[in-house]
Structure 1
Amino acid sequence: MGYGGPEGWGAGWWAPPPPPPPKPGVIPLAPLGLEAVFGGVFATLRRYAKPLFGSALAAYAALTVLLAGLVALAYASVKDQLDAIYVPDAHVEWDDVRPILTAFGVVWAVGGLAALAVSAFVQASCAATLREAVLGRRTTVRAVARHALSRTPAVLGVMLLMALIVLVPMALIFAGGIAFFFGVMATGSGPALAIVPVFLLLPLTMPLAIWLYVLFGFAPAAAVLESAGPVTAMRRSARLVRGAWWRIFGITLLGALMVLVASLVVQMPLMFAAPAAAPYSPADPSPTLSDVLPHMGAYLVLSMLVNLLVQLLTAVFLPLITTLLYVDQRIRKEGLATSLAAAAARPPSA
């Protein structure tokens, strides 16, 4: 008699397992699990460190120099006013404060716009680098920067639209709460009852902002990898995220927590290295801001460098996770793996 075993345990049970999916680059060309996503991120950081960090470091270094120059110019223009209000028990007038607010307000506005543009460029450079990393192709800082610069306006448009979409509902919710606050106060019901709905609206704003952030989180990657405009990229993101919001949110949250822990590990020694304040003696003249800044100079430079390192890590790590999740969703929903395998088999264009 034959020894076939139970049903389903015949010849088919001894069939060899299917071959693994192709892996020309940092990820297998198949639906990605959690390990494959973070493995792809760390492999990209390791193998493509030069183009990835080179373009980002150049952008943030330029931003740091710009901000330092703006702050120096602002300080030089209002040095006398700053020294005047820094003196203890000084009589401060509006004419002393107004130039300071104007000068540093301009620095804040220009620096904010420059930081937004740099963030858009870094996100575009991450997507451009990961495109080559998935295909297993070499690339250079110049090639990544060139492609990223061409798509930075689209990514910047996405960021502005996302900010508008997120902020408008939150502003409306707060406006409704404030209107209710003043309405209740006008009736004489008391401030305690009036302020309750304002606090009740706070838990509604954060979930809404997080939901919108995840829903449109793939838009920068679509703007770079599909050469899509801002509106088209946001539509593509919403279509790809649909049905997988919780999975994308969970992986993104885990990546954010990893960045937070790494940032704390880097910044904690700096907190303990802060110089102690000079002892105060009533007999000594009160120090001015010009006297304090040289004493803090080395610490301020070190703090700026550490913050630049943390900013660089945050700006690169999270977009890589988002872009890999974008690739994963396209593999799952659109069969992108076949196109990627064919593209990896072709020689790169000159």
Structure 2
Amino acid sequence: MSDTSGRGPQGQHGGPPGPYGGPQGPYGGPQGPYGGPPPGWGRNGGWAPPPPPPKPGVIPLAPLGVDHILGGTFATMRRYAKPLFGTAAAAYGLLAAVMIAAGVLAYVSVREHFQALYETDATFSWDHGRPLLIAFGAVWLVGMLATLAVNSFIQASCAATLHEAVLGRPATFAAVWRRAWSRTPSVMAVTVLLALILLLPVAACVLFFVSFIVVVLTQSSASFGLLFLLFLVVTPLAAWLYVLFAFAPAVAALETAGPLQALRRSVRLVRGAWWRTFGISLLAGVIVGVVSLAVRLPLQFATPAPPPVDPDTSTSTVLLAQLRSQFGLYALVGLVGTFVTQLAASVFLPLVTAVLYVDQRIRKEGLAHTLTDASSVPPPAPYEPPAP
């Protein structure tokens, strides 16, 4: 496990880390708060205010307010739309291809068992059900792993894009893809560890809702009070843990840290700023929810009415007519709207978290000076293989 949390211009193990390569304190000397000349008396005897913070990219290199965090996120999405949404769309396209291929392979492998479900002269038994459960359970498992990889890749690509956006440098699709792909395993490991940490509170919440349904159906309230108290305890615990480790994916992507080191770094950065991190993250989630609702509501009102049902019509004919009424142009528009909303949300939320991470490092570790120096250095030229 690599440790890149340096104690100065270089990490613990030497080497030239980037501007996000670990905590660094503010530089000494008679500089102002953002690396410029200090404030003092002006030429005319008046007090000269401190210079504005440098802004080489999408955010000023100074402690950020909510307006700067959201504004920097939207500016990154606008200026770096191609690498951001291009990598996310390509990742989702790859996920769709994997799921379609897995579904087709599963259907081909158990086709004769699947036909026993709807053929009139076939008898469905456990001998048919067991292969179906195994095949489509494998499809579900492949889908979960592929979704985890895709979401981790998108988080890494957002952090890689923000790395260049803060410095005001261009970012190409290929460069973001390479950097995000190299950090995806670490971000995946962080996500799995975070899921394991949150497993107990989430399981307790699921148990509460299941028990609530059982209580309503059986009209028995013997253990409902205890389950409700458990719910009141584990819900804040889950929220506290989630926010405490919120910066771990950004740390894993930007500091090239291992999973456990990323979790520890996130705890150190969030400490003392939990409520601020929670509030801004909640605001970002509300923005995503409002935009998603604004897209889905018109589609709900535009849903075509199902055809009338004739009592003499067979069940299969009725179901086929219902399916036909829900497909066509409406289904295409709904699919496109859902995909665009999901694409924007998958980019927006990790970007907000990554900007919050940069803000905390500016506040706690004097990262603004390092970023100011890094923004004045031209990016390295892309590697070109020698001509044969």
TM over 0.5: yes
Match of 1:330 in 2: 361
Runs (5+) with no aligned partner, structure 1: 1-9, 86-90, 179-189
Is 1:222 paired with 2:251? yes
Alpha-carbon distance in 2 for matches of 1:349, 1:200: 57
Match of 1:18 among 37, 45, 50: 50
Alignment-derived partner of residue 342 in structure 2: 311
TM-score of the superposed pair, with normalisation by structure 2:
0.76
Q: Secondary structure at the match of 1:132?
A: helix
Q: CA deviation at 1:73?
A: 5.2
Counterpart residue identity of residue 98, structure 2:
L
Cα distance in 1 for residues equivalent to 2:57 and 2:152:
25
Q: CA deviation at 1:36?
A: 0.7
1:343 offset after TM fit, Å? 0.4
Whose helix proportion is higher, 1 or 2?
1
Q: Give the Cα–Cα distance (whole angstroms) in 2 for the partners of residues 347 and 166 of structure 1.
A: 42
The yes-or-no answer on 1:37 pairing with 2:37 is: no
Deviation at 1:71, TM superposition (A): 4.1
The answer for the alignment partner of 2:162 in structure 1 is 130
Q: Specify the code of the residue in structure 2 equivalent to 1:322.
A: T
Structure 2, unmatched stretches of 5+, are: 1-41, 211-218, 382-388
Distance 2:305 2:106 in 1: 27
Query: For residues 173 and 259 of structure 1, do their structure 2 counterparts lie closer, same or farther at Cα, with a shift above 3 Å needed?
Result: closer
Preserved contact between residue 174 and residue 201 of structure 1 (Cα < 8 Å): no
Distance 2:82 2:131 in 1: 43
Q: Tell me, what secondary structure is at the counterpart of 2:223?
A: helix
Structure 2 Cα separation of the partners of residues 273 and 81 of structure 1: 37
Structure 1 length-normalised TM? 0.83
Cα distance in 2 between the residues matched to 1:195 and 1:50:
51
What is the DSSP-based 3-state SS (H/G/I as helix, E as strand, rest coil) of the residue aligned with 1:83? coil
Q: Report the counterpart of residue 34 of structure 2 in structure 1.
A: none
Cα distance in 1 for residues equivalent to 2:370 and 2:263: 23
**Pairwise CA distance, 1:309:** 1.4
Q: Which residue of 1 aligns with 2:240?
A: 211
1:159 aligns with 2:191: yes
Give me the whole-angstrom Cα distance separating, in 2, the residues matched to 1:143 and 1:300: 36
State the SS of the aligned residue for 1:127: helix
Would you say the 8 A contact 1:81–1:100 is kept in 2? no
CA change 1:12–1:196 in 2 (3 A) is farther
Q: Is the 8 A contact 2:64 2:359 kept in 1?
A: yes
Determine which of 311, 315, 323 is the counterpart of 1:282.
311
What corresponds to 1:346 in structure 2? Answer: 377
In structure 2, relative to structure 1, the CA distance for the partners of 1:75 and 1:83 (3 Å cut) is: farther
**In the alignment, is the contact (CA less than 8 A) between 1:123 and 1:220 conserved in 2?**
yes
Cα distance, 1:274 vs structure 2: 3.0
Cα distance, 1:61 vs. partner? Answer: 1.7
| Matched ranges for 1:37-186 at <5 A | 37-71=69-103, 74=106, 77=111, 80-83=115-118, 94=126, 98-171=130-203
RMSD in angstroms over aligned alpha carbons?
3.0
Amino acid at match of 1:209: A
State the SS of the aligned residue for 2:54.
coil
Call closer, same or farther: CA 1:82–1:199 in 2, change over 3 Å: farther
Query: Shift of the alpha carbon at 1:314?
Result: 1.2
Q: Give the % identical residues.
A: 54
